[in-house]
């Protein structure tokens, strides 16, 4: 009996111990908050909540912009401020910050959560900003960073603090760690390293580290006089691994490996795996090239179902320099990549010193190296394939998505099985027909709308938007949204579909009341089943504060909204004059009215064309033509 009782006590103790190990605390963060973080109503500071957390704890962060406040060492200068990850702590952005109780309630697209290194408030990466926006130093094993935009880091000083170089990893810096960190649902953009390497991310890993980047957009990250614009990955010791999945690498710049640069040695071999990822508009400026990826020394890489489009370089979108480099490349697309020289024979791949390659079931624009053009490897060579992409406009939601043709059902199913690829870059099933498609996207059938063009231009005092679609199927309408910061969009107009068609159709819309400054217009297509897709974003600038008169809408029916530039006098007069010179309306306004804007009621004025004249006491004049409609 005593033995049974003792066993029950031990069992109960183990249950309690297990529960304590698995227990997690959630801490809440809002911009500018300094509370305890125990609830949304008592939200705390971001770094303070990270520091207060333990393994398996979560930090939930409300939308807004956050700037770092803590240094790796108190001896650092102001630019050493950074966000410091902590072992096992999971940090999630994308919340409204209003009583959410589940991770499923967040929306990382709508609730933009920014980690910014812009310490000098210049809205760009430059000298004066944080050397690194996010740092993993010491032990950050098991940390998660999910749902953030990481921007405006500027690593440009050839010194160190706490072993972390100030000229590497402006966006994310992981230095000399045996650590495994998960980065998900991130936008890493506009970061720059000016001295060494890794504009977007610098990963100096050791041991059996296994870092993952999933659903991450690397955009416009750069290095000067160095390599790895989006990411620089080096093995310090052991065989660390980095996996990039369902991601996009756009507009990166560097000497070589403008997208990714990977470096290893005979005893320290890094492993890079890339799945369902796009590389586009990355620019490598110097030899040995690698517009998208450069592999140096001893490295092992596997690339499956990726798309390499419009990358420029001196030696290949992919370039290798090391007889002990190995690359497995399967089910991928190479199109419109260019070399700086007239000889484009290695625009896709450049094998400089005999890397060990296995290239199978790919679509190349030029002949691949080392005999892989042989039919046994099932590679397709076609410089100008017909029926390949739905759109090559990088701002379109359909960018590099497939149409039925050159790349559909041309892949090998064994590779998606081997590497566990069940969905494509868009989250759709990875295989929808007998054979998997090539590239990052799987063809899902006819798109509701195939966009040919989308443009915006000034017309009078408004913005005219024009777009042309090649075809429509099951499309309900288009929605025009506007923003002044490319993040917070609001609908301003709806244009109904003209119906199903296989012919090109033109649409237009006028925004008669644009915002002061940059106007970002987002074109959405809404399907009859309620789903929506962003077709593209365009920007145009209106300077409503400059000297002169701004009038909208024009034509007008009931009211003219008028805004002037700076005037020197306190009193001004507005007159509406017919083309014959007769004054129809006169209104006295103050200097404040003139500069902040005011309304002129034109309901009593007949339809026609008129002159709006501004007269001020200092004898300055301005005029513009307006049209009244009824």
Taking only the tens place, the pLDDT of each residue in 490-547 is 899 999 999 888 788 999 999 887 876 788 999 998 888 777 778 888 988 875 444 4
| Residue after which a domain boundary falls, among 541, 557, 592 | 541
Assess if residue 121 is contained within a domain.
yes
CATH number at residue 594: 2.60.40.1220
Whether residue 610 sits in one domain with residue 465: no
By residue count, the chain amounts to 630
Question: From CA 467, how far away is CA 454, in angstroms rounded?
Answer: 4
The position carrying tokens 């009859």 is 528
Assess if residue 127 is contained within a domain.
yes
Positions of the chain with pLDDT under 50? 1-6, 8-23, 544-547, 619-620
pLDDT score at 478:
94
| Residue after which a domain boundary falls, among 488, 512, 541 | 541
> Could you list the residue range(s) of the whole structural domain that residue 571 is in?
549-628
Strand partners, 320: 295, 351
Coil, helix or strand at residue 188 = strand
Assess if residue 335 is contained within a domain.
no
CB atoms within 10 A of CB 580: 5
- Mind listing the pLDDT tens digit for each residue in 582-597? 788 988 888 777 777 8
Give 484's Cβ-side CA count (13 Å radius): 7
Tell me the Ramachandran region of residue 614: left when phi exceeds 0, alpha when psi lies from -120 to 50, beta otherwise.
Answer: beta
Whether residue 157 sits in one domain with residue 44: yes
- 169, 183 contact by CB (below 8 A): no
Which helix (H) or strand (E) segment is 175 a member of?
strand 172-177
- Mind listing the pLDDT tens digit for each residue in 348-359? 998 877 788 999
Exposed (0-12), middle (13-18) or buried (19+): which is 409, by Cβ within 10 Å?
middle
Closest C-alpha to 537, from 467, 449, 476: 467
Question: From CA 588, how far away is CA 601, in angstroms rounded?
Answer: 13
How wide is the angle at C-alpha 172 spanned by C-alphas 168 and 174, nearest 5°? 75
- 220, 250 contact by CB (below 8 A): yes
pLDDT score at 447:
58
* Pairing between β-strand 312-313 and β-strand 318-321 as defined by DSSP bridges: unpaired
Whether residue 136 sits in one domain with residue 93: yes
* Cα-based distances in Å from 324 to 256, 289, 298, 550: 19, 18, 5, 66
Q: What are residue 40's phi and psi, to 5 degrees? A: -65, -35
Residues 6+ apart with CB under 8 A from 131: 79, 80, 82, 117, 153, 154, 155, 156, 157, 166, 167, 170
Whether residue 587 sits in one domain with residue 468: no
Which helix (H) or strand (E) segment is 158 a member of?
none
Assess if residue 399 is contained within a domain.
no
Closest C-alpha to 139, from 102, 184, 190, 88: 88
- 467, 451 contact by CB (below 8 A): yes
Assess if residue 329 is contained within a domain.
no
- 349, 317 contact by CB (below 8 A): yes
Whether residue 166 sits in one domain with residue 24: yes
Residues 6+ apart with CB under 8 A from 412: 330, 331, 360, 361, 378, 435, 436
- 83, 89 contact by CB (below 8 A): no
Question: From CA 171, how far away is CA 217, in angstroms rounded?
Answer: 12
Q: Is the pTM of this model over 0.75?
A: no
Assess if residue 86 is contained within a domain.
yes
Which helix (H) or strand (E) segment is 52 a member of?
helix 46-52
Whether residue 60 sits in one domain with residue 182: yes
Question: From CA 503, how far away is CA 452, in angstroms rounded?
Answer: 11
pLDDT score at 546:
40
Q: What are residue 582's phi and psi, to 5 degrees? A: -85, 130
- Describe the strand order of the beta sheet including 222-223 as a list of residue ranges: 154-155, 192-193, 222-223, 253-254, 283-284, 312-313, 338-339
Q: How many domains does the chain have?
A: 3
CB atoms within 10 A of CB 241: 19
Whether residue 464 sits in one domain with residue 574: no
Question: From CA 487, how far away is CA 393, in angstroms rounded?
Answer: 19
Assess if residue 484 is contained within a domain.
yes
Question: From CA 142, how far away is CA 181, in angstroms rounded?
Answer: 5
| Residue after which a domain boundary falls, among 521, 541, 561 | 541
Whether residue 604 sits in one domain with residue 514: no
Whether residue 618 sits in one domain with residue 499: no
Whether residue 213 sits in one domain with residue 121: yes
Q: What are residue 8's phi and psi, to 5 degrees? A: -65, -40
* Pairing between β-strand 475-483 and β-strand 517-527 as defined by DSSP bridges: antiparallel
- Taken in order 603, 605, 608, 614, is the CA torsion positive or negative? negative
- 280, 336 contact by CB (below 8 A): no
Q: Encoding tokens for residue 25?
A: 């605390």
CATH number at residue 501: 2.60.40.10
Q: Encoding tokens for residue 384?
A: 């100008």
* Cα-based distances in Å from 121 to 67, 116, 129: 10, 10, 8
Whether residue 163 sits in one domain with residue 141: yes
Alpha helix stretches (DSSP H) within 518-608: 591-596
Whether residue 105 sits in one domain with residue 24: yes
- First-to-last C-alpha distance (Å) of the chain: 98
Assess if residue 41 is contained within a domain.
yes
Tell me the Ramachandran region of residue 176: left when phi exceeds 0, alpha when psi lies from -120 to 50, beta otherwise.
Answer: left
């Amino acid at each position: 009996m005593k033995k049974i009782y003792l066993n029950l006590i031990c069992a109960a103790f183990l249950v309690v111990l297990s529960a304590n190990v698995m227990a997690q605390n959630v801490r809440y963060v809002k911009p500018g908050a300094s509370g305890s973080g125990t609830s949304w109503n008592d939200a705390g500071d971001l770094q303070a909540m990270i520091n207060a957390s333990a393994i398996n704890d979560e930090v939930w962060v409300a939308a807004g912009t956050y700037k770092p406040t803590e240094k790796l060492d108190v001896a650092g200068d102001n630019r050493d401020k950074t966000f410091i990850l902590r072992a096992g702590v999971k940090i999630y952005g994308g919340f409204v910050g209003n009583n959410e109780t589940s991770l499923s309630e967040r929306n990382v697209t709508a609730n933009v959560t920014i980690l910014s290194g812009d310490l000098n408030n210049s809205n760009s990466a430059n000298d004066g900003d944080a050397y690194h926006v996010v740092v993993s130093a010491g032990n950050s094993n098991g940390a998660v960073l999910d749902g953030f935009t990481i921007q405006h880091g500027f690593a440009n000083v050839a010194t160190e603090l706490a072993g972390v170089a100030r000229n590497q990893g402006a966006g994310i810096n992981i230095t000399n760690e045996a650590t495994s960190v998960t980065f998900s649902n991130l936008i890493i953009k506009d970061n720059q390293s000016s001295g060494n390497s890794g504009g977007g991310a610098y990963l100096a890993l050791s041991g059996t580290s296994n870092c993952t980047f999933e659903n991450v957009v690397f955009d416009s990250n750069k290095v000067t006089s160095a390599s790895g614009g989006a990411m620089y990955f080096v093995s310090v010791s052991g065989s660390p691994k980095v996996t990039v999945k369902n991601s996009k690498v756009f507009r990166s710049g560097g000497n070589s490996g403008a997208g990714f640069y990977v470096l290893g040695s005979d005893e320290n071999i890094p492993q890079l795996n890339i799945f369902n990822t796009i590389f586009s508009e990355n620019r490598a400026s110097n030899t040995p090239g690698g517009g998208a990826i450069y592999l140096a020394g001893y490295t092992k890489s596997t690339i499956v179902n990726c798309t390499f489009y419009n990358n420029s370089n001196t030696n290949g979108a992919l370039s290798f320099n090391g007889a002990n480099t190995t690359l497995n490349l399967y089910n991928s697309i190479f199109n419109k990549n260019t070399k700086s020289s007239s000889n484009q024979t290695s625009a896709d791949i450049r094998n400089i010193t005999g890397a060990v390659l296995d290239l199978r079931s790919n679509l190349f624009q030029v002949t691949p190296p080392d005999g892989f053009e042989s039919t046994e490897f099932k590679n397709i060579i076609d410089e100008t394939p017909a029926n390949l992409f739905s759109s090559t406009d990088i701002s379109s939601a359909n960018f590099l998505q497939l149409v039925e043709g050159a790349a559909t059902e041309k892949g090998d199913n064994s590779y998606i099985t081997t590497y566990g690829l069940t969905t494509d870059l868009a989250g759709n099933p990875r295989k929808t027909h007998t054979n998997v498609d090539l590239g990052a996207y799987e063809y899902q059938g006819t798109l509701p709308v195939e966009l040919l063009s989308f443009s915006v231009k000034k017309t009078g005092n408004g913005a005219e938007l024009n777009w042309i679609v090649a075809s429509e199927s099951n499309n309900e309408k288009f929605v025009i949204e506007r923003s002044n910061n490319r993040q917070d969009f609001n609908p301003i107009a709806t244009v109904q579909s003209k119906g199903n068609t296989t012919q090109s159709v033109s649409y237009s819309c006028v925004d008669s009341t644009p915002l002061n400054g940059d106007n970002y217009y987002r074109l959405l297509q809404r399907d009859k089943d309620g789903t929506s897709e962003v077709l593209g974003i365009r920007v145009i600038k209106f300077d409503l504060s400059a000297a002169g008169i701004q009038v909208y809408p024009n034509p007008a029916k009931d009211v003219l909204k008028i805004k002037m530039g700076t005037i020197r006098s306190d009193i001004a007069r507005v007159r509406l004059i017919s083309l014959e010179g007769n004054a129809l309306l006169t209104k006295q306004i103050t200097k404040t009215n003139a500069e902040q804007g005011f309304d002129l009621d034109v309901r009593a004025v007949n339809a026609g064309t008129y002159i709006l004249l501004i007269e001020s006491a200092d004898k300055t004049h301005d005029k513009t033509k307006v049209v009244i409609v009824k």
